[in-house]
């Protein structure tokens, strides 16, 4: 055992009093700890030393159901989910530009064009139910990923019993939610944990999937109703926080409590505002000796009639008794601090879930510089989520599509293709919107002119396909030329400026 290092004074104290020397060493050790790690009466620490899989097993299912309930019944939660999906996937989905290369390193244009043609046809009917096109499939997968923490899909290639692919390339996706992979299905003998079978290194080798939705009242699932799907045919889009974690956790995990509090608080304020809107008046009596019940109006049986005072704009009340006055109940509603409190809470929600506050709260107040700064900082979060979405779902689907197109003979790989480059592609996510289009356009124009950016880069930053833009421009200018039309956008129509006349030499 290594002895602790002692300075000369410590050795002197330990020589004369070993107990005092031991107390000095213990005190020095305590002072060397992190202050945040020391327990305190004012700090209630919640520690969790469980493994990633065990931690997920006890919380992921509850978080998943809570997030679904929030999406269904809370407008803010639904708006947050929509903001994430729209900024990560967008209206047209993740764009794909094939980049296969010849052996000399150049782009194989013919093969890329054939892949684009087959891919365009496949995008109309990419999944087994044939109800959703490719962009909608991406949005559904992204929404399920953010809300539930994970989403799954099975790749089906070639002839499958009772399945009509509906496209030239025999390739379809089967989408299903996380409920289809049982969280409580474990078999240590087969190295199965939470419905996922792994090898000794922790790599998934297969998934155990319910044949029917587990909570469907129409069917009753037993353990024998599980089917095994090889990992090579499965795609798992999961949000993981720890190394070694197999199942995903909802992105709403850290903000569910705050969203519930906002919902309850706003509901209380709405009820208070409704009560305040119901105008309530009262008649304040004078001193007791001035009140004579016998003088009030009575019906034919001698019963006292309820007193009614009509209120309308311009009403003059002249039938009050001696000492009476009319008052109104003031509830001080609506609360003027509701907006400020709500804004602060929504900023915390935006920070926790990774969406922009302006989009969540629909609050676009502020200067151009402030809006621009928020957009620039926030867009990094969307770019990271887009990268995860592409890496876990879109890119593997594209690779399997290229393979299916080759195996089926629809788009064969040419002989002069560089090996392993057949599925190389550029994946184009959503472009950062322009707050002031004129300023942004001038900035990009200057960068292109100075050689710091290319025209293709600018087009991709705007979220369009450069090849499609060039084809549109070429077709439009050819049609304009055939009709004798001239547009300022075509610099070829500009006449070169005439040279000024030469100045005569005074010496001549």
- pLDDT, one tens digit per residue, over 182-227 is 998 999 899 999 999 999 999 999 999 998 888 776 666 666 689 9
Instruction: Reply yes or no on whether the pLDDT at 44 is more than 90.
Output: no
Greatest mean pLDDT among 76-80, 370-374, 462-466 lies in: 76-80
CB 304 within 8 A of CB 293: yes
Q: Can you tell me the distance from the alpha carbon of 140 to that of 151, in angstroms, rounded to the nearest whole number?
A: 9
Q: Mention every residue, 6+ apart, whose C-beta is less than 8 A from residue 204.
A: 196, 197, 198, 231, 234, 236, 246
Q: How confident is the model at residue 129 (pLDDT cuts 50, 70, 90)?
A: very high
Residue-level pLDDT at 228: 94
Residue-level pLDDT at 504: 66
Residue-level pLDDT at 290: 66
Q: How far apart are the first and last CA of the chain?
A: 104
Instruction: Reply yes or no on whether the pLDDT at 3 is more than 70.
Output: no
pLDDT, greater one: 115 or 317: 115
Mean pLDDT of 105-126: 94
> How much is the mean pLDDT over the chain?
85
Residue-level pLDDT at 218: 64
Residue-level pLDDT at 152: 97
CB 98 within 8 A of CB 112: yes
Cα 106 from chain centroid (whole Å): 37
Mean pLDDT of 246-263: 93
Kindly report the CA angle at 503 between 501 and 505, in degrees rounded to 5? 150
Q: Can you tell me the distance from the alpha carbon of 153 to that of 134, in angstroms, rounded to the nearest whole number?
A: 13
3-state DSSP assignment of residue 86: helix
Of all residues in the chain, what percent carry a pLDDT higher than 70?
89
Residue-level pLDDT at 459: 85
CB 108 within 8 A of CB 166: no
CB 424 within 8 A of CB 410: no
pLDDT, greater one: 5 or 485: 485
Instruction: Reply yes or no on whether the pLDDT at 303 is more than 80.
Output: no
Mean pLDDT of 51-64: 89
Greatest mean pLDDT among 264-268, 307-311, 487-491 lies in: 264-268
DSSP 390-422: IIIIIHHHHHHHHHHHHHTTSSPPPTTBPTT-T
Mean pLDDT of 127-151: 96
Paired tokens of 288? 């007791």
Residue-level pLDDT at 484: 83
47: phi then psi, degrees, rounded to nearest 5: -105, 145
Residue-level pLDDT at 221: 64
Residue-level pLDDT at 393: 97
Residue-level pLDDT at 500: 65
Instruction: Reply yes or no on whether the pLDDT at 114 is more than 70.
Output: yes
Mean pLDDT of 99-114: 92
CA distances, 196 to each of 192, 203, 227, 306 (Å): 5, 10, 12, 74
Instruction: Reply yes or no on whether the pLDDT at 288 is more than 90.
Output: no
Q: Mention every residue, 6+ apart, whose C-beta is less than 8 A from residue 111.
A: 98, 100, 411, 413, 414, 417, 422
CB 207 within 8 A of CB 218: no
Q: How confident is the model at residue 440 (pLDDT cuts 50, 70, 90)?
A: confident
Mean pLDDT of 420-438: 86
Domain ranges of the chain: 52-254, 436-492
Residue-level pLDDT at 483: 85
């Amino acid at each position: 055992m290594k002895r602790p290092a002692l300075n000369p004074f410590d050795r002197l104290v330990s020589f004369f009093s070993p107990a005092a020397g031991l107390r000095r060493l213990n005190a020095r050790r305590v002072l060397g700890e992190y202050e945040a790690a020391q327990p305190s009466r004012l700090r209630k620490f919640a520690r969790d030393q469980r493994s990633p899989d065990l931690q997920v097993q006890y919380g992921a299912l509850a978080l998943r159901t809570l997030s679904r309930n929030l999406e269904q019944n809370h407008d803010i939660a639904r708006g947050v989910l929509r903001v994430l999906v729209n900024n990560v996937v967008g209206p047209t989905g993740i764009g794909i530009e094939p980049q296969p290369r010849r052996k000399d390193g150049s782009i194989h244009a013919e093969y890329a064009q054939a892949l684009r043609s087959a891919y365009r046809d496949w995008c109309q009917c990419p999944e087994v139910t044939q109800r959703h096109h490719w962009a909608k499939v991406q949005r559904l997968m992204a929404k399920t990923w953010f809300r539930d923490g994970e989403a799954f899909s099975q790749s089906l290639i070639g002839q499958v019993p009772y399945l009509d692919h509906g496209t030239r390339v025999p390739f379809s996706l089967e989408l299903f939610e996380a409920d289809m992979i049982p969280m409580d299905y474990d078999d240590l003998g087969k190295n199965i944990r939470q419905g996922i079978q792994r090898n000794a290194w922790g790599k998934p080798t297969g998934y155990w999937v319910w044949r029917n939705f587990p909570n469907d009242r129409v069917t009753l699932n037993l353990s024998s109703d599980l089917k095994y799907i090889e990992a090579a045919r499965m795609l798992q889009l999961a949000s993981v926080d720890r190394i070694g974690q197999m199942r995903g956790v909802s992105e709403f995990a850290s903000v569910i409590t705050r969203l519930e509090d906002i919902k309850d608080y706003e509901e209380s304020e709405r009820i208070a505002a409704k009560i305040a809107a119901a105008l309530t008046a009262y008649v304040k009596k004078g001193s007791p000796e001035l009140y004579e019940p016998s003088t009030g109006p009575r019906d034919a049986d001698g019963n006292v009639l309820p007193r009614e005072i009509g209120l309308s704009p311009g009403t003059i009340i002249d039938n009050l008794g001696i000492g009476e006055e009319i008052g109104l109940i003031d509830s001080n509603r609506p609360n003027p601090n509701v907006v400020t409190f709500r804004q602060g809470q929504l900023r915390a929600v935006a920070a926790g879930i990774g969406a922009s506050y302006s989009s969540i709260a629909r609050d676009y107040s502020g200067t151009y510089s402030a809006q621009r700064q928020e957009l620039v900082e926030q867009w990094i979060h969307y770019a990271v989520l887009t990268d995860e979405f592409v890496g876990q779902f879109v890119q593997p689907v594209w690779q399997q599509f290229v393979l299916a197109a080759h195996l089926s003979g629809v788009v064969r790989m040419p002989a002069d293709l560089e090996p392993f480059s057949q599925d190389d592609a550029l994946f184009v996510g959503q472009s950062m919107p322009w707050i002031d289009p004129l300023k942004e356009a001038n900035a990009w124009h200057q960068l292109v002119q100075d050689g710091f950016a290319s025209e293709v880069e600018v087009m991709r930053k705007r979220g369009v396909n450069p090849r499609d833009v060039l084809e549109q421009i070429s077709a439009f200018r050819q049609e304009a030329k055939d009709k004798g039309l001239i547009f300022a956008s075509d610099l070829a129509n500009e006449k070169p400026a005439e040279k000024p006349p030469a100045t005569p030499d005074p010496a001549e």
